Amino acid sequence: MERPLGRGELSAALLDALTYEPEQGHGKLPGPAATEPADPYGDDLQLALYICYELHYRGLDGVPDAWEWDPELLRLRAALERRFLDRLRADVPAGGDVAAALEGLLTEPADGTGPSHFLQDEGEPWHLREYAAHRSLYQLKEADPHAWAIPRLTGRAKAAFVAVEYDEFGAGRADRVHARLYAGLMRDLGLDDTYGHYLGHAPAATLATVNVISLFGLHRALRGSLVGHFATVEITSPPGARRLVKAMERLGAGPAAAHFYAEHVEADAVHEQLVRREVIGDLLRREPELAADVTFGIAATEWLEERFGASLLSAWRAGESSLRLPL
């Protein structure tokens, strides 16, 4: 992925350091203390964290692979993560009953006002293109962050989790991989489908929705929260996907664009049962102490998604772009 421009002292210094081999770049790398003044939800910290995580996925153009497990960089990443996670725990209610949290995901408010409602009912083509650009940061690597859970599960939970992931990765067919289907959606909308192309366009609220999956996924201690995130995505996907199919069709977005969301209506309706009964059910039978982590994963995902949606709708209703840079 192309290296983005920095958004503050922290991310700019990090990006500069990563252009060197680790031995030469350590002196330019910000120390953990440099994270303290940064807003945990702000552009500077969220971009810095996104950059650190991207080294575990496909890497960054011009950044040596040796940085991925460099101890100095991992110390910085840990400080960034603490700032983000501590603030998230402070803002999201802890505890609660897992069954009640899952039932809450199945119930949509009658007066829903999220981005998918807006796009279905009144969105214009430019709104649809912006939404697709935001979501591309996750969708072009859909299911990759969740795959970190596989070696941390066992028994029925692992088997069911892998069954869902198998569908996300096209059930053995490269042309059916969901990330590839999303690339087709982007082309139908006249967008660049290059992996990570819109990172520079995406504000911090968007980055946080992607960073939280990597945060949960890269820490075995947060496996319960990762499963909670996974459940939230799979259970809440079908209603929103139905609305987005209608939006695509109403605005003439193209067959690939409509197909991507139609695929999720069908697939995720089946996945919901597997995740609730087999993945979470078996995980908590084996490790009941993870119940609070599962509910935190659900609540944190919903909270960050609502924050993301509010930022889009605030801009759109004011007739303004929701992106940092114009498409």
Return the axis-axis angle of helices 291-317 and 204-217, rounded to nearest 10°: 160
Q: CA angle, 139 as apex, 65 and 327 as ends, to 5°? A: 95
pLDDT at 211: 98
- pTM value is 0.96
Cβ neighbors of 93 (< 8 A, separation 6 or more) are 299
Which pLDDT score is estimated for 139? 98
- Taking only the tens place, the pLDDT of each residue in 2-47 is 999 999 999 999 999 999 999 999 999 999 999 999 999 999 999 9
pLDDT recorded at residue 273? 85
Domain 98-317 class?
mainly alpha
Q: Give me the pLDDT at residue 133, please.
A: 98
Give the integer Cα–Cα distance in Å for 299 and 302: 5
Under a CB-based contact definition with an 8 Å cutoff, are residues 127 and 139 in contact?
no
Q: How many whole angstroms separate alpha carbon 150 and alpha carbon 165?
A: 9
Return d(Cα 162, Cα 137) in angstroms, integer.
23
The pLDDT of residue 266: 74
Intervals of the chain under pLDDT 50 = none
d(CA 247, CA 245) in angstroms, rounded, equals: 5
Looking at residue 228, its amino acid is G
CA distances from 1 to 11, 195, 196, 200, 288 (A): 16, 6, 6, 11, 40
Q: Are 202 and 324 in contact (CB under 8 A)?
A: yes
Q: Give pLDDT tens digits for 207-240.
A: 999 999 999 999 999 999 999 999 999 999 989 9
| Cα–Cα distance for residue pair 261/251, rounded to 1 Å | 14
Q: Give the number of C-alpha atoms closer than 13 A to the C-alpha of residue 108, restricted to the C-beta side.
A: 14
Domain spans, the chain: 9-90, 98-317
